[in-house]
Amino acid sequence: MQNPLLATEGLPDYSRIRAEHVEPAVRTQLDANRAALARLLEQPTPTFASLVEPFEALQHRLNRVFAPVAHLNAVLNSDELRAAYNACLPLLAEYQTEVGQNEALAAAYERIRDAEASTLTAAQRKVLDFALREFRLAGVRLPVERKARFKELMQELAKLQSKFEEQVLDATHAWSKHVTDESLLAGLPGHVRSRGANAARERGLAGWWLALDQPTYLAVLTHGESVELRREFYDAWTTRASDRGPFAGRHDNGPIIESILRLRHEAAAVLGFGSFAELSLATKMADSVPAVVKFLEELADHYVPAAHREYAELEAWAGRKLDAWDVPYYAEKLQHERHSVSEEALRPWFPLPRVLAGLFEVARRLYGVRFEPREDVALWHADARYFRVADAEGRPIGGFYLDPYARDKKRGGAWMSEVTVRKRLAGDGQELPVANLVCNFAPPPAPGRPALLTHTEVLTLFHEFGHALHHLLTRVDYPSLAGINGVPWDAVELPSQIMENWAWRPEVLPLISAHVDTGEPLPQAELDRLLATRTFHAGLAAVRQLEFALFDFRLHAEYDPARGARVNELLDEVRGRVAVVKPPEWSRFAYSFQHIFAGGYAAGYYSYKWAEVLAADAFAAFAEAGIFDAGTAQRFLENVLSQGGNADQMAAFVAFRGRKPEVGPLLAQDGVSPPERAA
């Protein structure tokens, strides 16, 4: 029977994929790619059509083989799948470094760029320029010994980063709280109590069994009246995979962080960079380490005073000094008093089917795309769904899977990932883009009932859907630059951040809200109160993101092998500059910071704030013209969403907005005054 992972035409057959298929499929495709590349390089006079396009097809096929594996490892993790996935990481890292260091391939790309300069399209020149940059950053011109060392570093980093993520997952699922005293559950939403009771019954226990998944953790911190319970959850969450907390040392990521930073620094040095931060910026919009630090410091000048005012007001209202595990609880209470609105109380108005229908309607009005659920597609779990995506004329343009709920053996957080990317190559046919959209919302409270979202979760869904639109609406035919591929990491959050704005608009909220039982729209008074909460504690939210961004960037920019990572020391320094809510000494947030130690945000977490500036300014253009204005939407589609890595991102923004981005719209959106006015 054919290995289902090697059937790369159409959608993956998730019903047939097993752990034992993974390594054989990856090895088979790697062997095929190597053999095909060797044949391509035998050409005496390679051309764009005879070398570059076939090589794009090879890389695309390899990505299509492994994408379902990476996805399943994140959403349906098991010991067998984890072992198979990890066995492939060094194989893939070795191959990609091998390709990046292939001098014959790099030389052929250079010859094609020069020989065909007058006939290449702009997209084809961009493909060549992008590839040549990647060759340089893979060390194609390095001496043999340094090439070999760079390859070793890439393989080792791939393994370490996967291990980091695994230990966070294992640490998260290792902890639970069995509650028999119902008074501890005071204030918790009904759906959390119900899930806890069901989980206890499944384990043959009385009372309630509370897991450390994200929805439960947030519910306890935000609504739990018991200080004891809040502190216990906070302790377990912020010490995951560390040397502190209830499972101190069991899944300790501290040594892995040290190794990751040391190897990243060495890899940057091998390539001639002074730090990993410098290497990271070689592929981003920001042009220098000082420029990023200055950007973050200037935002801090705006937001830190506002955050201090907000926190002082919160403590005064609470009537006591607050610990870190108290802040979400009292903030929710203050927001409710001030605006008479509660996230939990609004859940019945945001059933997931209604939110999805409204989200799809927003996309239709903006970009003419339509979404149709398909029931004949193989899925990995009963929670998942698949949607066909078509243009205004009904022509298919792609599809996406939705996996919305938290569960055991699923990575926390929310993300968009590729199943396959758009491809239109001569001699290799075409392929439409398909995305995964993954969240960790609380599942439906009972069979036949829909999941109910908070407005914050609605924003998360809009955010990830923005990434999906970026992937689906690309018009670039070459996989290396289609969708989010080739897009600088500090620009890739623009389409996601801007989508959140529609979820705040009074024109859109009626589209995404209807009471789960009555179908009635969100009452106008409730809608007005919800809109009024947008700027509530915007300063505190911003400085939290600035803390993450400055910590990440300085960690990679200032790393010194002689001193080691200095993780907790540096984090304390950063908090001294921007943090207002000071965590306890034993908190170990960094040990589960997957974005930078297991994801793609190393020395790039600042991208969120960078893109917030871009998104607020870009959305201001919609606000000025009308949020569904066809001309504005078409300009955004043509200059940003459809361009992928084919465009210079600043030039694309200027083409859309008519000028370079300004920070003013973000400050106005957050209700934050510049320092001189705030003073």
Alpha helix segments (H runs only) across 9-102: 19-40, 53-75, 79-100
153 assigned to some structural domain: no
599 assigned to some structural domain: yes
Where a domain ends, among 569, 587, 605? 605
- Specify whether 12 is located in the same domain as 71: yes
Both tokens of 630, joined, read 């066809």
18 assigned to some structural domain: yes
User: Which amino acid, one-letter code, is at 401?
Assistant: Y
- Specify whether 195 is located in the same domain as 72: no
Residue 117: burial class (beta carbons within 10 Å; 0-12, 13-18, 19+): exposed
Where a domain ends, among 605, 639, 660? 605
- Specify whether 368 is located in the same domain as 494: yes
* Predicted pLDDT at 1: 59
* Non-local CB neighbours of 24 within 8 Å, separated by 6+ positions: 3
93 assigned to some structural domain: yes
Report residues of the chain scoring pLDDT below 50: 676-679
* pTM for this predicted structure: 0.93
Range(s) of the domain holding residue 332: 254-341+537-605
584 assigned to some structural domain: yes
- Specify whether 513 is located in the same domain as 642: yes
163 assigned to some structural domain: no
Strands 429-431 and 423-425: antiparallel
Question: Can you tell me the distance from the alpha carbon of 364 to that of 305, in angstroms, rounded to the nearest whole number?
Answer: 41
Tally of CA atoms within 13 A in the half-sphere of 510 that contains its CB: 8
Residue from 29, 41, 33, 43 nearest 102 by CA? 41
245 assigned to some structural domain: no
**C-beta neighbour count of 412 within 10 angstroms:** 18
79 assigned to some structural domain: yes
* Predicted pLDDT at 674: 61
Catalytic residue, chosen from 464, 493, 500, 526, is 464
The count of domains in the chain is 4
Question: Can you tell me the distance from the alpha carbon of 296 to that of 545, in angstroms, rounded to the nearest whole number?
Answer: 10
In order of 173, 552, 595, 597, the CA distances from 167 in angstroms are 10, 20, 14, 12
* Non-local CB neighbours of 648 within 8 Å, separated by 6+ positions: none
DSSP state of 660: -
What's 44's domain CATH number? 1.20.1050.40
- Specify whether 565 is located in the same domain as 425: no
Rg (CA), the chain: 25
Question: Can you tell me the distance from the alpha carbon of 593 to that of 599, in angstroms, rounded to the nearest whole number?
Answer: 9
- Specify whether 613 is located in the same domain as 594: no
- Specify whether 106 is located in the same domain as 13: yes
CA dihedral 178, 182, 187, 189 (to 10 degrees): 60
Asked if 464 is an active-site residue, the reply is yes
- Specify whether 470 is located in the same domain as 484: yes
- Specify whether 94 is located in the same domain as 194: no
CB 652 within 8 Å of CB 385? no
Angle at which helix 289-318 crosses helix 327-339, to 10 degrees, equals 70
Question: Can you tell me the distance from the alpha carbon of 77 to that of 173, in angstroms, rounded to the nearest whole number?
Answer: 12
How many residues belong to the chain? 679
What's 454's domain CATH number? 1.10.1370.40
Where a domain ends, among 137, 161, 191? 137
* Predicted pLDDT at 29: 98
What's 278's domain CATH number? 1.10.1370.10
- Specify whether 372 is located in the same domain as 498: yes
- Specify whether 215 is located in the same domain as 334: no
User: Got the DSSP string for 191-242?
Assistant: HHHHHHHHHHHHTT-SSEEEE--HHHHHHHHHH---HHHHHHHHHHHHTTTS
- Specify whether 523 is located in the same domain as 548: no
